Structure 1
Amino acid sequence: MSEGKKGDDTRDKNMTSVDSKDIRINEPDDAITDVSLRVCKVLDNISQTQCSNTYSVQLASLIVNGLYSGFDGSADVEFQLVGSVGEGCPIISSSKLSDHDLMYVMNTCQAYEHSVVCVPKPHWQFYIEQCDINPCYVRLRALTRGSSPKLFNNLPGIFSFESKLGGHYLSNAIPATMNNLFALPTFEFLKEEKIVAGPSLTHTVTGLSPYNTVDTVISIRCHAWPAVAEEWINRRRYYHWPFRCFIEEHVKHGCHVVPVGCKECEHTYLDWRLSFVLVEQALVSEFNATQLKCYLLLKHLKKFTFEDEIDYMISSYILKTTLFWVIEESPPDLWVPRRLLTAVQICLDRLITAIRTDFCPNYFIRNSNLFARRYKVVE
């Protein structure tokens, strides 16, 4: 949603009013205030450590240690705990827990957009070429062929030469062919059931039922912040969220690319998607208590309400993106306990507008639509 179209004039005047600059907040009535405070108290009384932390730490430790052992403790790989558990915001219930998401960073692979720097001899170097259709996607053209990481050794034909594009490109078929690697005896703690979904490979893990699902995502580090995301650095922020020092600190670390194709492209099997997952994780860590509660309520709505009807349309990532936009564009006095339900309503209003207009902007790349080819208009 563009900054000049943030609301619907027909929305309840008691909830919000919107102008071209920001979200103006009216004082909620006594009933909404009372319920907001009650919900805050309930969430305060929930001990996440009792419900999830033991299983989360145990499973993450088992997976990471097992994977490192499988790679002989090689420094060529690095694992990052991301997703809901990595953010410290798992879904809590008596029977369900958020999946564990692990990002597997191939340290012997480096991707560059502007200029190539000297790297150790065995490293692979890739040049980033921007997708002409969706700015959130790129292709990786091989520049320097390094010594193959263990992953590449088990994935024959992972490189594709495209004469029309003029070079060798790294295919995004990695998740679909990773079974060759994880079928090795060193990864016997992973059960045989493996499901490919987008850039991730889902495993069930022995010994920790029922909290035993992990999604692994292969990634390559991009050392420079991508040009298509420069607007995120420079755009005007009326309420200074996130702070300038936060932006400067995280931009210098660049981003990652993950293997998933653009549905709108001809050579979709060569596409990789830009990922800002570590910056997102850091943004969540900047949430105040009310913002965190709003995030948890949105995630619970998705898990236990949206999932039955429109799960294919409203992902957790879209909810998080919506919340990022609302926090950036709303005054700090929204994010207080007595206005918790007002904040949730504003997020839902924005989400509804995005669905109606079929446009949900990526938080870091404003002109990239998260709803592109996600569902058919008739639905």
Structure 2
Amino acid sequence: MFIIFLGSLSEGTTTIGLDSDSDRLIFWNKLNVIQDWKDWQPGETNYLMIQDESVSPGYCLLQCLRKDAPLPCNHVCNVYSFRDRAGRILLRNSLFSDFMASFLGGGIKHGPACTQQHLGSKDTDFVGAIYCKAWPLQARQWLDWQGVGQWPSDDVKRYCSNTGCFVVGVGSKGSQNEELEWRISTCFAERCLMFNLNITQIRCYVLMKMILKTYIKTHYEDTISSFMCKTVVLQLTANTQSSFWRENNLLVCLSSCLLVLNNYILNENCPHFIIPGNNLMAGHISSESKPHILEILQYIINSKGTALLEIECDDLGERLQLKLNNLCVVKVSGSVSAYLLYITAEMVHCTTWQCLTSVRNSSDEITIRTLMKYLSKLVILSQCQGLDKTACRLLAPWFGTTLGSILASQNTEHYNGISEEALTWISLGLNTDVSSGKLKLASVFYCTGDVQKTETVLRDIERCYDLNIVEPVCKCHNYIKKYERKGFYAISDNHNEDALQYATAFCVRFLRCEINCIPKELQYELFKSTEEDLAFRDEDDEWMDFAMVDTLPYLYFLQYRTYRYLGRQDDTKKALSNLIRTIDQETNLGHKETALNLLGQCMEQENRPTAALRCYTVSLTLRGRNNAAKIHICRLLSTMINGQA
């Protein structure tokens, strides 16, 4: 029995902060695994590697052979032997995992590994394997393949071909022969390839593992592995010129690696570098986690390196920030101003959000009293000077608009009209930003049937909403955001916090007690969560009790409904076209699934049920749970089955 140290510790591809496990391969030299009958040895325990179409790529079956002649064994020797339909005696892959657990006196099984956990020190992964002196048949084509970068060299490939391979006791997930398959490992060759990478390629690999630990493993533990990241680096190295991998080009190299990984996840196929038929991602990424992982990767790629500043591992973010501060003491004023303005907008959103969250499930009376209390406190604090006064001036109008909308909802229910008091409160928040306050006013008019006033307000919003300047703002949950528009930079550089009213567009938020001021198509969002969905929520999902919608899609939706009611066909088509374009092209949508649900209902009204169903289906791919799309799909299918569409 031999023990070999493998993994990142032996390759020099880890850091203290990554806290990598110690990987050890235990293999037996008393077993003779062969691929050619001529390698059979008398008196030894021989196994023939079977690599045919019945076996998953990258795996093999081990057929027991006789010790006295190069012939198949014809009787079951022990509990680890199995006779298949063809009469072959095959070795079960549970042999080594059971042995390892017994040999180590316990441990946690994880795939083919048995992990020993040590208090105060790194875990150790032990993997049992059998060595085969011959290079695997499935990898022979790789020896003749040559990428754009002419890497690895012929000498390296020649060395790799002489390292043989191992068979490890684990089958391909979902395979019919999962208990009998053995994974083919070319770990010696892979370590040789890692030793032939330059410092930039090694850094890319280490940074990918840091990104994995920071952004993905905390939420999706067993989806993307460090071995997949290693495969990405090897693939990209082979398919790019060596001049690409320069130290001063590290960020571009890292982005390229992440793009390759993104494509692998998109296609759910990460081909093994040496045995391409072996898909390393098979069975690892669920349909629910896939869109979220892709969203995270897109955020990191689009951040142009700033996402690295959030990495706490080895204090990387802090150290990078320190370097940036030393290199660039004074930033471009427009960038600083834009950053400050956007942060101010986010703080306004978060502060009002926290207050509204506290009353999201309260009665109308309690909610009204709470909002009045907030407003009273803000009025008192506004008597102060400086930042306190500014903060109160920015926050108070938001509570006023919400209070007015609740009162309008009560008015509509009891009197089928809107009181002057409600309109007065709503008007306080019409200029908080470009659109959200005005859209609440438009919703009130729309729900009371005053389409002329609705159309007037919507026309005013569209006139003020400059697509080159206005930046959407949503902090309901974390989602990938693109950098600000150039016009936003220009406005920010020449104005103070007052620029919020014509350079930002907050998402529109409705409490349940505003239900009579919410279009029926949007009311579904108040009931998006089933009992089962509630069990999958966490503390940051309180926004799901609201009806939330991004400004621009909601503007075009209300225009579509209003112009359709007025019979203005050209304007109706234009509004629908704008809604589709916004969903397709606007990257900063915090509630894209809601926009798709609204679009689906527009498609239903256009008598296009198939297009509507497609909208709801896409919506579900973005958010699989707590999504009103489930209601719409059931409702639409019922309508279609009953012949009403």
Which residue matches 2:16?
Answer: 92
2: CA distance, partners of 1:290 / 1:114:
41
**Partner SS for 1:179:** helix
1:142 aligns with 2:64: yes
Report if the CA contact (8 A) 2:19-2:122 is conserved.
no
RMSD between aligned residues: 2.0
Which segment is superposed worse, 350-359 or 125-134? 125-134
Higher strand share: 1
Superposed, 1:145-184 pairs within 5 Å as 157-173=78-94, 174-183=96-105
Contact 1:158 1:170 in 2 (8 A): no
Aligned-partner SS, 2:277: coil
Distance 1:331 1:270, change over 3 A: same
**By how many angstroms is 1:291 displaced?**
1.2
SS at 1:269 equivalent: coil
Does the 8 Å contact 2:171/2:180 carry over to 1?
yes
Distance 2:113 2:67 in 1: 25
The amino acid across from 1:271 in the alignment is: E
Change (3 A) 1:133 1:163: closer
Within 2, Cα distance between the matches of 1:334 and 1:158? 54
Between the aligned partners of 1:118 and 1:371, the Cα distance in structure 2 is: 35
**Corresponding residue for residue 267 of structure 1:** 177
**Quick check: which has more Rg, 1 or 2?**
2
On the 8 A contact 2:32/2:45 being kept in 1, the answer is: yes
Counterpart in the other structure of 1:52:
none
Note the C-alpha offset of 1:91. Answer: 3.2
- Report the secondary structure of 1:224's partner residue: coil
SS at match of 2:148: coil
Whole-Å separation in 1 of the counterparts to 2:279 and 2:189: 19
Deviations 1:209-257 (A, max 9, x none): 4223100001111221122111211113222111101101120221111
Aligned letter for 2:49? I
Tell me: CA distance 1:145–1:306, structure 2 relative to 1, closer, same or farther (3 Å). Answer: farther
* Equivalence for 1:81: 5
How many angstroms does 1:133 deviate by?
4.7
Letter in structure 2 aligned against 1:142? C
**How do residues 272-291 of structure 1 correspond to structure 2 at under 5 angstroms?**
272-291=182-201
Would you say 1:201 and 2:114 are equivalent positions?
Answer: yes
| Letter aligned with residue 327 of structure 1 | T
Aligned to 2:276: 366
Per-residue deviation, residues 250-271 of structure 1 (Å, max 9, x unmatched):
2022111100012232221111
Amino acid of the structure 1 residue aligned with 2:19: L
1:268 is paired with a residue of what secondary structure? coil
Q: Residues 61 and 90 of structure 2 are in contact (CA less than 8 Å); yes or no, is this contact kept in structure 1?
A: yes
Distance change in 2, residues 1:309/1:127 (3 Å): same
Aligned mates of 1:216, 1:372 — CA distance in 2: 23
| Runs of at least 5 residues in structure 2 that lack an aligned partner in the other structure | 69-76, 290-645
**1:91 and 1:300 in contact (8 A); partners too:** no
Superposition map of 1:6-25 within 5 A: none
What TM-score does the superposition give when structure 2 sets the normalisation length?
Answer: 0.42
Letter matched to residue 197 of structure 1: H
CA distance in 2, matches of 1:264, 1:232: 26
State the 4+ residue runs in structure 1 displaced beyond 6 angstroms. Answer: none
Counterparts of 2:274 and 2:228 in 1: how far apart (Å)?
13
Of 98, 101, 112, which aligns to 2:23? 101
Q: Superposed, which structure 2 residues align to 1:1-379 within 5 Å? A: 77-93=1-17, 97-117=19-39, 119=41, 121=43, 123-130=44-51, 132-144=54-66, 157-173=78-94, 174-183=96-105, 192=106, 194-205=107-118, 209-379=119-289
Secondary structure in 2 matching 1:104: strand
- Cα distance in 1, alignment partners of residues 90 and 242 from structure 2: 46
Task: Report the residue type matching 1:204 in the other structure.
Answer: Q
TM-score (norm 1): 0.69
What amino acid is aligned across from residue 227 of structure 1 in structure 2?
L
Shift of 1:357: 1.3
Provide closer, same or farther for how the CA distance between residues 353 and 108 of structure 1 changes in structure 2, counting only shifts above 3 A.
same
Q: What is the one-letter code of the residue matched to 1:161?
A: F
Aligned to 1:31: none
Alpha-carbon deviation of 1:289?
1.3
1:324 alignment partner, SS class: helix
User: 2: distance between equivalents of 1:134 and 1:231?
Assistant: 17
Q: How many percent identity over aligned positions?
A: 27
Residue 311 of structure 1 deviates from its aligned partner by 3.0
Q: 1:145 to 1:378 in 2, by over 3 A?
A: farther
Structure 1 residues 180 and 310, CA, compared in 2 at 3 Å: closer, same or farther? Answer: closer
- CA gap of 1:290–1:214, structure 2 versus 1, over 3 A, is same
- Quote the Cα distance in structure 2 between the aligned partners of 1:237 and 1:130: 26
Higher helix share: 2
Indicate if the aligned counterparts of 2:20 and 2:122 stay in contact, CA closer than 8 A. no
Higher relative CO (Cα under 8 Å, sequence separation at least 6) belongs to 1
Aligned mates of 2:146, 2:84 — CA distance in 1? 43
Q: C-alpha deviations, 1:136-164, integer Å up to 9, x for none?
A: 11111111459xxxxxxxxx945222141
Worse overlay, 109-118 or 224-233: 109-118
One-letter amino acid of the counterpart of residue 235, structure 2:
W
- Is the CA contact (8 Å cut-off) linking 1:257 and 1:274 kept in structure 2? yes
